[in-house]
Structure formats: C-alpha cells, structure tokens
Amino acid sequence: MAQPDTPHTVHPSGDNRFKLLDRAITKHQASGDALIEILHAAQGIFGFLESDLLVYIAQALRLPYSRVYGVATFYHFFRMKPTGEHTFVLCSGTACYVKGSAEIQKAVEHHCNCKFGETTADNAISLISARCVGSCGLAPVAVLDNAVAGKLTPDESLRRIRQWQEERKEEAA
C-alpha cells in the first residue's frame, strides 16, 4: 500500500511551526489512531488548538472534521483558546480540597475578578483548575507558571499574583 503523502511542506501561511507539526505527524505515519498524540504535539507547538489547526490535522490524518473536533473537546487538557501571560493552576484534588484549596480559589477569584477556567480581561493571568497534580503530600498545591508551589495559603497566592501584576506594570511603564 502506498504511504500517504506527507502533508504540505510549507503551510500556505508560511508559518514555520507547521514544519514541526508535520514532523510529529510523519513520526506517527499520519495514522488516525495517533490523533491524541498529534493534538498534544500541536498544542505544544502552537499553545492552543484553533479551528484552522484542527482542520489541518484532520486533513493530514484523513479523519472527519467532527471526529477531530469531538476528540479535542472531550479531553480537558486541550485548549481551544490561548492562555494569558501567566497561568495559575490550582489543584482541585481531594487532599488539596481537605487542606483548604477552596479558600485559595475564593481569594484568587475575588482578587482577579475572574473565575477558574477563564483568563483575566487584560489577558494577564489564566486561572486553571487541575485534577490532582499528584503532589498530595504538599497540599494545597498550585502550579504557577510551571513551578509547583506546595502548602499554599490564600495570602501567599495573592502575593504571587500581585508580583506578576506589578512586573507587568513595570514592563508596560
């Protein structure tokens, strides 16, 4: 059987990131069974999964559009919108819950004037709620821009957020 043609070598947009994506697709022999792997790769490269990107993937893997969209929206790890400059990922696991993550959630939502699952209006901070991050011994835990912070308190959370906000102001000034 003939190998499926490799996807376009240069994306019409001229965006070089598609080359990286194509490499991931080729690595999985453009197999539809590898859709989730490809979506992981695409999100890693582009940050989030736009409709156009999903269309590109569907065509490359020869899958129906709705299948690709259905899979991308089934898994909570995949984002269809870009995140803010900073991410505050609060663990909502049981241990964190028992140790008071709800208080942190309340304080942070109040301070940022935005709910978990959303990004602040100025696009500075995305509040994300995670299923257990597996550091239960340190509960309550949050992941602040990819660094895990354990035994967190509402005060400490707000301090870290204010720090981001001040840095941002300074950069703007």
Q: Which of residues 108-167 bind other proteins (CB under 8 A)?
A: 130-139, 141, 148-150
| Residue in 69, 87, 116, 165 binding other proteins, rule: CB under 8 A | 69
Are 98 and 40 a contacting pair, CB within 8 Å? Answer: no
| Residue in 25, 99, 104, 154 binding other proteins, rule: CB under 8 A | 99
Give phi and psi for 158, each to the nearest 5: -65, -35
Q: Which of residues 1-30 bind other proteins (CB under 8 A)?
A: none
Distance CA 64, CA 151 (A): 46
Pairing of strands 142-144, 147-149: antiparallel
| Residue in 45, 71, 107, 158 binding other proteins, rule: CB under 8 A | 71
Residues 6+ apart with CB under 8 A from 149: 141, 142, 143, 156, 160
Residues 6+ apart with CB under 8 A from 172: none
The residue among 7 and 93 lying less far from other proteins, judged by its C-beta, is 93
Quote the least distance from Cβ 14 to other proteins, whole Å: 23
| Residue in 8, 23, 67, 115 binding other proteins, rule: CB under 8 A | 67
CA separation, residue 13 to residues 17, 18, 49 (Å): 10, 9, 16
The residue among 80 and 124 lying less far from other proteins, judged by its C-beta, is 80
Binding site for other proteins (CB under 8 A): 31-37, 39-40, 51, 54-55, 64-71, 73-78, 92-99, 130-139, 141, 148-150
